[in-house]
């Protein structure tokens, strides 16, 4: 009965590249939604190792090593393997086949126009030397989402253009097939959009060295908050300060549950008379309260790596059947050659 109920739930797919430890940006961007959605939806979480290689091909060891680290982060933050299926992308061959198929329904010009890709190409300094796999990763992401027939994708707002591109591919395939063989997906984006890095320059990202990890020690939190960008013109405590663009306040908005206290601090800061050190102390306290229990659960789980591997192994086995069924549906709908059916 329980199983039947779950089968009827809407399907959620999200994932992360195993390029490093998960950070506060992931927490705000998607992990918090995933922890809630797992109780009301059928949720799959994909460790996107194949996508990680698209800009880390010269360091495959980093991707391999981080698969277990990301899985540990999931379990420590509250993603429950009884409620969520955790799987590894490269071990799902149907997703690669869907990617290859979808590449025929996208133009290079459209891939180059994707604003997320444009931003990321610039951030990574690829110039014209863009790995083809990187340019095409939105197509692989379309395969991931549709492979599970997901209709809901909780993501940071940097990923919205990728979901739009997924839906374009879905419409192209359905038009070609003459029926709705795949559903369109909806991005679920948090109110804060994307969390900036501690330097305030770009979004917090594993690859940019501007992140606070969910496994950060008390000392690492302290140091990160200490070097956080504030208002460069707020020199003396008595000076009026700017709250907009001040990373410390952006983080308080994101993580401090006492919204009224944060508003009072903002008023005081704008008026003058409130020092950066006092605001930073509060943020340090808030972040420590969030991260300490995650860090402790993670340390316990890390003592049993075989159990963690078993979680992703069984999740991947279940996902293999689901994604293969979608590939069969799509091939069938498009009228492609299949042994035994021709
Ligand atoms: P990389 O630097 O390797 O690309 P990343 O830190 O950008 O890593 P991803 O694995 O690419 O992380 O992103 C996984 C998910 O987390 C995506 O849905 C993305 O939107 C979300 N996310 C990542 N960083 C942030 C952020 N700073 N704010 C909000 N959401 C984020
Ligand atoms: Mg990224």
Supply the DSSP string of 28-95, one letter for each residue.
IIIIHHHHHHTTTSEEEEEE-HHHHTTTTTT-HHHHHHHHHHHHHHHHHHT--TTTEEEEEGGG-HHH
DSSP letter for each residue of 206-254: GGGT---BTT--HHHHHHHHHT----TT--STTS----TT-HHHHHHHH
Cβ–ligand 1 distance for 206 under 6 Å, the answer: yes
Cβ–ligand 1 distance for 120 under 6 Å, the answer: no
171 Cα–ligand 1 center, Å:
26
**What's the pLDDT at 8?**
87
First to last CA, the chain: 39
Contact 214, 21 (CB under 8 A): yes
196 Cα–ligand 2 center, Å:
13
Of 124-128, 146-150, 161-165, 262-266, the poorest mean pLDDT is in 124-128
C-alpha to C-alpha distance for 267 and 282, rounded to whole angstroms: 15
Cβ–ligand 1 distance for 156 under 6 Å, the answer: yes
Cβ–ligand 1 distance for 89 under 6 Å, the answer: no
Q: In the predicted model, what is the mean pLDDT of residues 198-204?
A: 89
C-alpha to C-alpha distance for 59 and 209, rounded to whole angstroms: 17
291 Cα–ligand 1 center, Å:
18
Cβ–ligand 1 distance for 16 under 6 Å, the answer: yes
Neighbour count for residue 205 (Cβ, 10 Å):
22
Structure tokens at 261: 């206290």
Average pLDDT, rounded, for the chain: 94
Cα–chain center distance at 201: 19
Please name which of 162, 133, 154, 136 lies closest in space to residue 33, comparing C-alpha atoms.
154
Ligand (nearest to CA of 17) = 1
**What's the pLDDT at 1?**
42
pLDDT tens profile 47-99: 999 999 999 999 999 999 999 999 999 999 999 999 999 999 999 999 999 99
**Residues ≥6 apart with Cβ < 8 Å to 140:** 50, 51, 95, 99
- Angle CA 53–20–324, to nearest 5: 50
pLDDT at 341 over 90: no
Contact 296, 63 (CB under 8 A): no
Give the neighbor-by-neighbor strand order of the sheet with 84-88: 84-88, 42-47, 11-16, 152-154, 186-188
pLDDT tens profile 133-186: 999 999 999 999 999 999 999 998 889 999 999 999 999 999 999 999 999 999
For ligand 1, atom 20, the nearest C-alpha belongs to 156
pLDDT at 4 over 60: no
Neighbour count for residue 112 (Cβ, 10 Å):
12
């Amino acid at each position: 009965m329980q199983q039947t109920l779950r089968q009827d739930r809407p399907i959620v797919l999200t994932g992360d590249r195993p390029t490093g430890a998960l950070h506060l940006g992931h927490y705000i961007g998607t992990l918090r939604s995933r922890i809630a959605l797992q109780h009301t939806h059928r949720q799959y979480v994909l460790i996107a190792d194949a996508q990680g290689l698209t800009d880390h091909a010269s360091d495959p060891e980093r991707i391999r090593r981080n698969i277990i680290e990301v899985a540990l982060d999931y379990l420590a933050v509250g993603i429950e393997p009884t409620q969520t299926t955790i799987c590894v992308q490269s071990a799902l061959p149907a997703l690669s086949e869907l990617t290859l198929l979808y590449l025929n329904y996208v133009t290079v010009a459209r891939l180059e126009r994707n604003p997320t890709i444009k931003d990321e190409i610039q951030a990574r300094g690829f110039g014209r030397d863009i790995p083809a796999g990187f340019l095409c990763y939105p197509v692989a992401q379309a395969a991931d989402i549709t492979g599970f027939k997901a209709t809901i994708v909780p993501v940071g707002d940097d990923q919205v253009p990728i979901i739009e591109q997924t839906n374009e591919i879905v419409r192209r395939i359905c038009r070609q097939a003459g029926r709705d063989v795949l559903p369109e997906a909806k991005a679920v984006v948090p109110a804060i959009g994307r969390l900036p890095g501690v330097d305030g320059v770009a979004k917090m990202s594993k690859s940019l060295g501007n992140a606070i990890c969910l496994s950060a020690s008390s000392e690492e939190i302290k140091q990160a908050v200490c070097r956080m960008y504030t208002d460069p013109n707020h020199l003396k405590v008595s000076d009026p300060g700017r709250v907009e663009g001040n990373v410390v306040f952006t983080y308080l908005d994101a993580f401090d549950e006492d919204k009224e206290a944060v508003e009072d601090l903002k008023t005081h800061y704008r008026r003058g008379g409130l020092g950066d050190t006092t605001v930073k102390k509060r943020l340090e306290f808030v972040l420590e309260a969030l991260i300490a229990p995650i860090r402790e659960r993670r340390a316990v789980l890390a003592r049993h790596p075989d159990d963690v591997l078993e979680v992703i192994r069984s999740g991947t086995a279940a996902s293999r059947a689901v994604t293969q069924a979608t590939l069969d549906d799509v091939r069938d709908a498009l009228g492609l050659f299949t042994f035994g059916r021709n």
